[in-house]
Chain A
């Protein structure tokens, strides 16, 4: 210590430990509930108009509805905060009762008999136990898994018959399309752990392949093909494009790779926009062939009706899913997981990291290519503005929102996030829709970063990160393994 340098003042520990009232979690919860109530009041209330930005706010926040929502929020908060112990005792009694195993229907009788005074306890417990008993019995059946899958598939098949044309269009043009894209992106991001911000580029390549081979572009193809035959070609084209993007970027990880993929997207987008002689420039391809089958004795053409397209898409999604679920649990899937965890260790155990990273790119890209072909043919026209960067970012958010690496998660995530802005069309100013989407993403990433239906491994990662014994970096850009 040299003379003249005074030691820095150390604040007292007691002062540092002190928390003001607004720093207590209790008030945070109240704040969150109030904000939620206000948002709900706005979302469920009147729609805004473009001329008067504040008309809807004024109307929604002066009526009784907003007070109803606020009252509900405060009531929830009061019960949660001040009747906490009471509530806890009650729920623990219910849980205890509900936790009793039941092997025969007779076991379902409440422990204290059906006394009316104790009904609040045994009634919900009985309900829960009955449901569990029945599902246990059903799950015990060998056909359960296939049966439930078939039931779900059946529901998905009849779903478009039960909704309006508008929702049919949404299901085909957006949900179905992005589900395929998201499944492909999930391979790259969720399984192999490479952040791809330009994934829609492959979607565009698929769409333009379709346009080219069906004769929709200014240049004549060598042979004009049916859209069904274009699909393998588009898959191949995207495969090559995926490898072309992947090969020079294999050494890159995380952020660097993300920037390169971003650049790749822009290259594809600008090529489509500016190479007028080949792609038709910003006008695009205004008239495209639709899917059609002609077997001589039977022919069919997919027309404007969205439903046949929906079923076609569903068929593709099911086939792709069957393949991918198998892939996930194969040697390939394990290799991807190992690469995501630790590339050096993966190589040391004999995983060809270069090959499997390229494979992830190629498989992801070709899935997106299929979606592109269907998209182009369904809409009947394409132009570069349909493949803007925002879509790449949205596709990534679908995967993260649903749960990276988890196929059910990605499906649900895509469905929810694509559905929400369409739903909000009727309830808020359509221009503001993405604001609510953004808000939902922020809230989701804070409170449930693992996504809606996370994969088991991803849950593990986040739990470990919380406990400080690992990193939950989405990019897998960690310098090393367990040794930190």
Chain B
């Protein structure tokens, strides 16, 4: 499925938990003008994993994701996909390597219908794969119902589903998700995370940026915590969930915690 990426023998690619690394970021430095947004971020995503990237607003989560998907060029550092350097490759070309990006704020093509959006997602293929379409429609039955509807008139949750479905149409091996829970009701968030779990179980690796730390860590295998542009913590998701520092900083008030458990 991966187009044109050959695994170099002896290429240094760290393995995680016995899984070969799919994506590896090494010492990334990204600048917005004079502001250093990422101050040496390193992380690894193993094949088949779900990795959550947590942090407060402005910690550099989205920037990390954009650097990984080629939307931003890092000033220094390396982005490795299956051990091969891909930093500096433009985002539309990275799509060819099996990276699907669900951008922040959904960004569906508001004036196209649901079906047109999904077909657009398969742009890198010569023609949309009907099997992929069926898969998206079985994951998100509501999209099948609304396939003729103009996507700008969908609800926020449906638009998020469409954005994920659109990315899936490009047959990604690695799906980068930027805040899929943004501005959505808790019930819809739970629904979307269940579907994300299903997508992962079907074999797609996920790298997830989230504000909703509790929800993200429950889905993820591992997590990284970013603070002002650097990784300050990384561990198994369950360990992070019970870490008192994480609980205090990102899982918020006790009340919310109780609600999440209940």
Cβ-defined contact, B107 with A344, below 8 A:
yes
Who on chain B is nearest to A462 by CB?
B111
Indicate whether B205 reaches chain A with its CB closer than 8 angstroms.
Answer: no
Given contacts A334-B120, A348-B69, A348-B103, contact A481 B170 (CB under 8 A): no
How far, in whole Å, are A482 and B160 apart by their CA atoms in the complex? 10
Indicate whether A407 reaches chain B with its CB closer than 8 angstroms.
Answer: no
Cβ-defined contact, B123 with A335, below 8 A:
yes
Partner-contacting stretch, out of B148-156, B191-199, B223-231? B148-156
Q: How many residues of A contact B (CB 8 A)?
A: 27
Who on chain A is nearest to B151 by CB?
A482
Per the 8 Å Cβ criterion, residues 126-166 of B in contact with A are 150-154, 159, 166
Cβ-defined contact, B107 with A481, below 8 A:
yes
Given contacts A464-B153, A469-B152, A482-B159, contact A351 B92 (CB under 8 A): yes
Shortest Cβ gap from B246 to chain A (Å):
28
Given contacts A351-B123, A464-B150, A482-B152, contact A345 B109 (CB under 8 A): yes
Question: Which of chain B's residues have a CB closer than 8 A to the CB of A483?
Answer: 105-107
Cβ-defined contact, B106 with A481, below 8 A:
yes
Contact with A along B211-251 (1 / 0, CB 8 A): 00000000000000000000000000000000000000000
Residue of A331, A341, A457 with highest tally of chain B CB at under 10 A: A341
Indicate whether A226 reaches chain B with its CB closer than 8 angstroms.
Answer: no
Given contacts A350-B96, A460-B111, A461-B111, contact A345 B123 (CB under 8 A): no
How far, in whole Å, are A346 and B90 apart by their CA atoms in the complex? 12
Who on chain A is nearest to B69 by CB?
A348
Cβ-defined contact, B112 with A341, below 8 A:
yes
Indicate whether A342 reaches chain B with its CB closer than 8 angstroms.
Answer: yes
Per the 8 Å Cβ criterion, residues 289-337 of A in contact with B are 331, 334-335, 337
Indicate whether A470 reaches chain B with its CB closer than 8 angstroms.
Answer: yes
Cβ-defined contact, B108 with A482, below 8 A:
yes
Cβ-defined contact, B105 with A350, below 8 A:
no
Q: Of the candidates B91, B95, B108, which one forms a contact with A481 in the assembled complex, judged by CB atoms under 8 Å apart?
A: B108
Q: Of the candidates A337, A348, A350, A352, which one forms a contact with B112 in the assembled complex, judged by CB atoms under 8 Å apart?
A: A337
How far, in whole Å, are A479 and B48 apart by their CA atoms in the complex? 35
How far, in whole Å, are A347 and B101 apart by their CA atoms in the complex? 10
Cβ-defined contact, A464 with B105, below 8 A:
no
Question: Which of chain B's residues have a CB closer than 8 A to the CB of A470?
Answer: 110-111, 152
Cβ-defined contact, B111 with A457, below 8 A:
yes
Indicate whether B115 reaches chain A with its CB closer than 8 angstroms.
Answer: no
Shortest Cβ gap from B115 to chain A (Å):
12
Q: Of the candidates A344, A352, A464, which one forms a contact with B152 in the assembled complex, judged by CB atoms under 8 Å apart?
A: A464
Question: Which of chain A's residues have a CB closer than 8 A to the CB of B103?
Answer: 344-345, 348
Indicate whether B21 reaches chain A with its CB closer than 8 angstroms.
Answer: no
Indicate whether A480 reaches chain B with its CB closer than 8 angstroms.
Answer: yes
Contact with A along B87-105 (1 / 0, CB 8 A): 0001111011000011101
Question: Which of chain A's residues have a CB closer than 8 A to the CB of B108?
Answer: 342, 345, 481-482
A–B pairs, 26, beta carbons within 8 Å: A331-B123, A338-B120, A338-B123, A341-B109, A341-B110, A341-B111, A341-B112, A342-B107, A342-B109, A345-B103, A345-B108, A346-B120, A347-B92, A348-B69, A348-B91, A348-B103, A348-B107, A350-B95, A350-B123, A350-B170, A352-B93, A460-B150, A481-B110, A482-B105, A482-B108, A482-B159
Shortest Cβ gap from B261 to chain A (Å):
31
Question: Which of chain A's residues have a CB closer than 8 A to the CB of B170?
Answer: 349-350
Given contacts A348-B91, A350-B170, contact A338 B152 (CB under 8 A): no
Given contacts A341-B111, A352-B92, contact A480 B121 (CB under 8 A): no
Q: Of the candidates B92, B106, B120, B167, which one forms a contact with A482 in the assembled complex, judged by CB atoms under 8 Å apart?
A: B106
Question: Which of chain A's residues have a CB closer than 8 A to the CB of B189?
Answer: none
Who on chain A is nearest to B109 by CB?
A341
Indicate whether B43 reaches chain A with its CB closer than 8 angstroms.
Answer: no
Per the 8 Å Cβ criterion, residues 466-483 of A in contact with B are 469-470, 480-483
Question: Which of chain A's residues have a CB closer than 8 A to the CB of B105?
Answer: 480-483
Indicate whether B39 reaches chain A with its CB closer than 8 angstroms.
Answer: no
Shortest Cβ gap from A475 to chain B (Å):
14
Indicate whether A282 reaches chain B with its CB closer than 8 angstroms.
Answer: no
Cβ-defined contact, A345 with B95, below 8 A:
no
Indicate whether B56 reaches chain A with its CB closer than 8 angstroms.
Answer: no
Indicate whether A353 reaches chain B with its CB closer than 8 angstroms.
Answer: yes
Shortest Cβ gap from A326 to chain B (Å):
16
Residue of A337, A347, A352 with highest tally of chain B CB at under 10 A: A347
Question: Which of chain A's residues have a CB closer than 8 A to the CB of B95?
Answer: 348-350
How far, in whole Å, are A353 and B151 apart by their CA atoms in the complex? 22
Cβ-defined contact, A350 with B92, below 8 A:
yes
Q: Of the candidates B96, B107, B123, which one forms a contact with A480 in the assembled complex, judged by CB atoms under 8 Å apart?
A: B107
Q: Can you name 16 extra interface pairs (CB under 8 A) apart from A352-B90, A482-B151?
A: A334-B120, A334-B123, A335-B123, A347-B90, A348-B71, A350-B92, A350-B124, A351-B123, A352-B93, A457-B112, A460-B150, A464-B152, A470-B152, A481-B110, A482-B105, A482-B107
Residue of A341, A344, A350, A483 with highest tally of chain B CB at under 10 A: A350
Question: Which of chain A's residues have a CB closer than 8 A to the CB of B93?
Answer: 350, 352
How far, in whole Å, are A482 and B156 apart by their CA atoms in the complex? 9
Q: Of the candidates A349, A352, A353, A469, which one forms a contact with B120 in the assembled complex, judged by CB atoms under 8 Å apart?
A: A349
Question: Which of chain B's residues have a CB closer than 8 A to the CB of A353?
Answer: 92
Question: Which of chain A's residues have a CB closer than 8 A to the CB of B120?
Answer: 334, 338, 346, 349
Shortest Cβ gap from B238 to chain A (Å):
32
Given contacts A347-B92, A349-B166, A349-B170, contact A482 B124 (CB under 8 A): no
Q: Which 7 A-B residue pairings sit nearest by Cβ, starting from the closest?
A: A350-B95, A481-B107, A483-B105, A350-B124, A341-B109, A345-B107, A482-B110
Question: Which of chain A's residues have a CB closer than 8 A to the CB of B110?
Answer: 341-342, 464, 469-470, 481-482
Cβ-defined contact, B111 with A347, below 8 A:
no
How far, in whole Å, are A483 and B90 apart by their CA atoms in the complex? 24
Question: Which of chain A's residues have a CB closer than 8 A to the CB of B69?
Answer: 348
